[in-house]
Amino acid sequence: MEKLIFHLHDTVGNNTRMAPSAYYMEADYIPVNVRIYAEGAPSRDAKIDIFDDGTSIFENRASTSVNKSTGVVTVQATATEAILMAGETEADLAGNLNTDITIKEGSWVYCNLVDSGGGKNFMVQLELERLEAEEESL
Whether the predicted model's global pTM rises above the 0.75 cut: yes
pLDDT above 70 as % of the chain: 85
**Model confidence at 64: pLDDT above 80:** no
Confidence of residue 65 (pLDDT cuts 50, 70, 90): low
The secondary structure of 53-71 as a DSSP string is: TTEESBPP---EEE-TTT-
Amino acid letter, 83 = I
**Which sign, positive or negative, has the C-alpha torsion 4, 59, 96, 113?**
positive
Residue-level pLDDT at 12: 61
Q: Where are the domains of the chain?
A: 2-47+81-130
**Model confidence at 71: pLDDT above 60:** yes
**Model confidence at 129: pLDDT above 70:** yes
